[in-house]
Chains A and B, each alone.
Chain A
C-alpha cells in the first residue's frame, strides 16, 4: 500500500508523463494541466489507499482521461479526440518515466534543442511555447500550413535521433 506521502511524491514525479497523456486526450495543454491538478486532489483525498505505484498510475490516467473528456464535452458539446479504446491502449503503452530513462532524455533533449537552427527553434517556440496551432505558426512565418507540419515532423525526428545518439554516447562513456 502506498502511504499518502508516497502517493503525493509519485504524482509529482510523474507530472510530466501524466500531463503528456492528458494532453494527448484533450489535445490542449491548459486543460491537461487543470485536469492534472484535479487528479492530484482526488488521489490525495481518496479514502482507499493505492496498492502500488502501478495502481496509482493506472487510476490517474483513467480518472484524468474521463475528466478531460467530460470537460471537452461540456465546452464543445462533443469530444473529437482519440476513441476511448485507443486511449486505453495508449495508457497501457505509455512510457514509464523512471524505467524508460526520461530524466536523461530530458537532459539530452535540452542539449539537442540548443543545436537546432534558429529557424527551427522559432517554429518550436511558436508552436509549443506560445501554443499556436500549425495554421497560426504558418501565418506568423508567412509559410504554407503544410510546410509547417512537415517542418515540425522533421524537427521531432531530428531531436529523437539526436537524443538517441547522445544517450548512446553517454552509455559508452
Chain B
C-alpha cells in the first residue's frame, strides 16, 4: 500500500468521484496488475477496519456515546424484512444446540443491554434467562450477563457466546469483561483455545477470529489452561496475576506477554436510559409516563413522573414547505395551546418533525419568526436541570419500523454558546426499535398542515388535517448528558435547542423532554 497516487485513485473510485475515463483506467490498472488488485483489496479491508474502529471507539467513550450515522435510509424495508426473515429462519436453524431446561435457581440472566442486536434473535428483556447451550451472536452494542454465583460478564459486539452452565460462559469470538467476586471463584470462560478460571478477580478475555485468546487480569488472579487436545495428560496451566496480560495462540504453544491495557476492561454498561413505565391506553399501547429508570454514575435510579422536570416548547420552526408527516401528535382533540402536547405526561402526544441541519449549531440559534429564524425547536425546563453523573435529560420519540431503527439522529445545543458550551449530536438512541424496553406506542392522531410551519404562531393557528394512526409505533428514549455539551459537574441549564440532524428524509419526533432531578431517587 505504498503508491500514493494509486491509493487516491482507488479512494476516489470507491467514492463515485471518478470521471468515466478515470474509472475505466482504474479498472484497467486492476486487470493488468495483480499487485495492485491485492493492494486495492488490502485498502478496502483497512477501510472497513477503520470504520469499525471509529464506531467502536465512539461507542466505548463514556463522554461520547455511539454516533452511528446511517445516511442511506432506503435500506429500511430491506433491513426490516431481513430481520424478520432471520428471526423466523435462523431461530429454527439454530436447533442443533443442546438446550437443557434451566431451573430458576441456576439461570443466567440478562442484567442489561445497550444498543444491542443479536443475529437472528430478539434481544432478551432485562432479567430474562438466557437459553443454555444456545449460541448468541451479538452483532451490535453491549450486553451484561449475571450468573447465579454472583459473577457478571459484559460482552461487546461483535461476539459469539453461549451459556454452558451456572458458572461457565463459552466465548467463541469477541471481548468479554468478567467480574467474579469471592463467592464466584471458580467461574470460568471457555474459549476455542483456552479455559480461563477465575480465582476471585476482574479479568478481560478477548478471542480473535483466529482463535487466539488474550487474557488481561485487572485484579486478583486467573488460571489459564490450554484446552485439552485429546491427550491424556493434564493441560498446562498459566497463572496470571494483577496487571499481567498474555496472548495464547490457537495452536499448542507458549503464551506471549502482551501490553497490559486496563482501559479495555469494561466494568459495566454505559450510563443510559434503562427503561420506563407507562400506563397502557385502551389499545394496550403506552400512554402516560409513570417513571423512568436511568443508569447515572453506574447506578440505576428510578424517578417517578412527579419528580421529573417538564420542559415547555418556546420555539418551533420546521423545514421550508409543508411536512407530509405533520407536526402534532395528539388524541382526537387538540389542547389550547397546541404546544402543550410536548409538556404533558403522555408518550403518545408531542410536537414532531422540527427543522433540521446537517451541520451542528456553533452559535446561538435565532428564535424569531422570519427568514433568519433557526430551524428546530427550543424548550425551557420548569426549573434548572443540574448536571449530575450520567444523563441529565431524557427525550422520548415516536418511531415506526419504516424509520431508522436506532432512532432519528438529532443535535442538542444550549441557547447560549458561552464558554466551552457546544452542540452534542446524537445518532443512536438508548432504547431503539430493537430494545424490548421500548414500549409499543398507543394509537394517536396525526395533524398535518398544508402550510409550512415557520414559527410558534404558525404551529398554533395553521389549519390541520387529522389522520388516525393505529399502530406500528414504539416509543424510544435517549439520555442527554450535559457534560457532553460542555457543562461542568454541578452547573445547570434551563433551555435546550433541538434540531434534526437532517441525515435522511425523516425528522425527529419528540413526544416528551424531561429533566432529571439532582440526587432524588426512589
Contacts and interface: CB of A to CB of B under 8 A. Distances in A.
Contacts of A131: 69-71
A9 B172 contact: yes
A152 B8 contact: yes
B119 interface: yes
B17 A149 contact: yes
B42 A95 contact: yes
Interface stretch (B74-82, B219-227, B363-371, B435-443): B74-82
A90 B172 contact: no
A53 interface: no
A4 interface: yes
Contact of B160 (A9, A37, A129): A9
A154 interface: yes
Contacts of A156: 1, 7, 11, 43, 46-47
Nearest to B3: A157
A41 B54 contact: no
B46 A160 contact: yes
Interface string B263-300: 00000000000000000000000000000000000000
Interface residues of B, number: 71
B469 interface: no
A20 B48 contact: yes
A71 to B, nearest CB: 7
A134 B45 contact: no
A109 B27 contact: no
B69 A23 contact: no
A95 B135 contact: no
Interface in B37-57: 37-38, 40-55, 57
B93 A16 contact: no
B4 A154 contact: yes
Contacts of B78: 34, 38, 71
Contacts of A86: 27, 30-31, 37
Contacts of A125: 54
B72 A90 contact: no
Contacts of B47: 20, 23, 128, 156
Contact of B209 (A44, A82, A102): A102
B209 A80 contact: no
B14 interface: yes
A98 interface: yes
A94 B97 CA distance: 32
Interface in B1-40: 1-2, 4-5, 7-8, 11-12, 14-17, 23, 27, 30-31, 34, 37-38, 40
Given A9-B172, A89-B31, A130-B67, A103 B14 contact: no
Interface residues of A, number: 73
A23 B17 contact: no
A152 B17 CA distance: 14
B85 interface: yes
B137 interface: yes
A83 B160 CA distance: 35
A6 B41 CA distance: 26
B54 A16 contact: no
Interface in B103-150: 119-120, 135, 137, 139
A90 B37 contact: yes
A134 B17 contact: yes
A106 B41 contact: no
A45 B93 contact: yes
Interface of A: 3-5, 8-9, 12-17, 19-21, 23-24, 27-31, 34, 37-38, 40-41, 44-45, 71, 75, 80, 82-83, 85-86, 89-90, 93-95, 97-98, 101-106, 109-110, 113, 124-125, 128-131, 133-135, 140, 145, 149-150, 152-154, 156-157, 159-161, 173
Given A104-B208, A154-B4, 13 more contacts: A16-B49, A27-B14, A37-B119, A38-B78, A86-B31, A89-B37, A102-B209, A106-B49, A109-B49, A140-B359, A149-B8, A153-B7, A160-B42
Interface of B: 1-2, 4-5, 7-8, 11-12, 14-17, 23, 27, 30-31, 34, 37-38, 40-55, 57-58, 67, 69-72, 74-75, 78-79, 82-83, 85-86, 89-90, 93-94, 96-97, 119-120, 135, 137, 139, 158, 160, 172-173, 208-210, 212, 256, 359
Of all A-B residue pairs in the complex, the 7 with the closest CB atoms, nearest first, are A103-B208, A20-B48, A160-B1, A129-B54, A153-B7, A153-B8, A30-B72
